[in-house]
Structure 1
Amino acid sequence: METQRRAVVVTGFGPFGEHKVNASWIAVQELDKLGLGESIDLKIVQVPVEYLAVKRLIPELWATYSPLLIVHVGVSGMATSVTIEECGHNAGYIRTDNCNFCPGTHCCVEGGPECLHSDIDVKEVCKRASSELSDVQFTVSADAGRYLCDFIYYTSLYQSNGKSLFVHVPPVGRPYTATQLGQALQAILKVILSMHVNHEERIYCQRKA
């Protein structure tokens, strides 16, 4: 009997500000070329840099694909490494998006917790990805920036009860090529998926009650 392929959704952002071609979308397209193996149905989606588009799109992605997980990718002009974000924040959104819009409440979810953490063991993923791909530096962060990157992460964590991840990539060529960025995303996803299928371990970290 043929094993059913499970969906994994990876998103990247469209252009904004000085990023006329967003490195996150380039990296996601490179990942799509590499793939995640025969058992995974990889879906890639470009997300507009718009708050309302994010609020509409995230529930649609979970409802449409019922994925194992969704990984969101964004660009950071300050980053020099591939940065795996631990958590998303609910409040503090004061920058306007590509439509010159900003949420009136300055938050993702009214009444939601201030911070939501991914249930994925981010530090372990970073450690294993670093050993898998030695020519790219991976780091962990707890501040995704209070703009669309943070906004989509919190929104997705809230929607999925923690079954999401966010990765920041530096601009292409500073210092990594598009191919290296795609390989970095592939390494992260393969580590997560290997943790998921290994019955001796769990994809999610054990949290104390």
Structure 2
Amino acid sequence: MILLSGFEPFGGDRTNPSWGAVRIARDILRGEGLDAEAVELPCVFGESVRVLHREIARMRPVLVISAGLAGGRERLSLERVAINCDDARIPDNAGNRPVDEEVVPGGPAAYFSTLPVKAALRALQIAGLRAEVSQTAGTYVCNHVFYGLMDYLAAESPGTRGGFIHVPRESQPGTPGGMPLHDMGEGIAVVVRTALATTLDVKVPAGAIH
């Protein structure tokens, strides 16, 4: 079982491309004979993680990939690390705005993705999809879910691999920037295929200077 998650709209947007993208990826993977499901998470601190944990416990997947929107980015961002910090610049959809709070009180400072992010980056580039390895998932609900996912897997399902992908805004006719929704979905499917086929990540440079 492969579990994918995306988010409901937030910040005044009417849609969230992360949810559309994971549904496309789910359908692509099902078409290839893989057992895949997608779940939409609320853009709410706490509740988003509880929903994801519930679905993991119910489905018992071997791979979990969560996705979220990073509107200022132009590439699929394979997140390397989740930090134990909630610091919200804007309220979530329930009006919560935690500042300098831990995602999991007393938890580790950070968790690394257990996805083969470098191999996935190479596979995405070969597929002609814009991608990068990102060193920060922010401190909003995306990082909250990423950290909550990795903390849960470490404690409850250490054999399950997991990670997070940020997607850009959906491209619109006549508007520069963004990425077609189908390309986002295909990119997530590429990452799934790579994770299923790769036990040891490749060692290629994909770091950041700043």
TM-score range, shorter chain: 0.7 to 0.9
Q: 2:93 maps to what in 1? A: 98
After superposition, give the CA deviation of every residue in 1:118-169 in whole Å (9 maximum; x if it has no partner): 12221122112221x11x2110011001001000000000001272110011
1:27 to 18, 21, 28: 21
CA 1:120–1:29: 2 relative to 1, 3 Å: closer
The answer to whether the aligner puts 1:65 opposite 2:63 as a matched pair is: no
After superposition, give the CA deviation of every residue in 1:105-129 in whole Å (9 maximum; x if it has no partner): 7221001111110122211221122
For the residue of structure 1 that corresponds to 2:46, the secondary structure is helix
2:168 to 160, 167, 170: 170
Q: Normalising by structure 2, report the TM-score.
A: 0.84
Cα displacement (A) at 1:191: 1.0
What is the number of equivalent residue pairs in this alignment? 191
Cα displacement (A) at 1:186: 1.1
Cα displacement (A) at 1:91: 1.4
Q: How far apart in 1 are the matches of 2:180 and 2:123?
A: 21
Structure 2 segments unaligned to the other structure (5+ residues): 172-176, 204-210
Q: 1:52 maps to what in 2? A: 46
Q: 2:104 maps to what in 1? A: 109
Q: How far apart in 2 are the matches of 1:92 and 1:61?
A: 23
Q: 1:150 maps to what in 2? A: 143
The one-letter code sitting in structure 2 at the alignment partner of 1:16 is F
Q: How far apart in 2 are the matches of 1:70 and 1:122?
A: 14
Structure 1 segments unaligned to the other structure (5+ residues): 1-6, 196-201
Q: 1:121 maps to what in 2? A: 116
CA RMSD of aligned residues (A): 2.0
The one-letter code sitting in structure 1 at the alignment partner of 2:9 is P
Percent identity over the alignment is 24
Tell me whether 19-28 or 102-111 shows the greater mean CA deviation.
102-111
For the residue of structure 1 that corresponds to 2:66, the secondary structure is strand
> Is 2:120–2:190's contact at 8 Å kept on the other side of the alignment?
no
Cα displacement (A) at 1:59: 2.1
The answer to whether the aligner puts 1:186 opposite 2:189 as a matched pair is: yes
Q: How far apart in 2 are the matches of 1:149 and 1:75?
A: 8
Q: How far apart in 1 are the matches of 2:77 and 2:99?
A: 29
The one-letter code sitting in structure 2 at the alignment partner of 1:110 is P
For the residue of structure 1 that corresponds to 2:165, the secondary structure is strand
> Is 2:86–2:98's contact at 8 Å kept on the other side of the alignment?
no
The one-letter code sitting in structure 2 at the alignment partner of 1:113 is P
Q: How far apart in 1 are the matches of 2:57 and 2:133?
A: 29
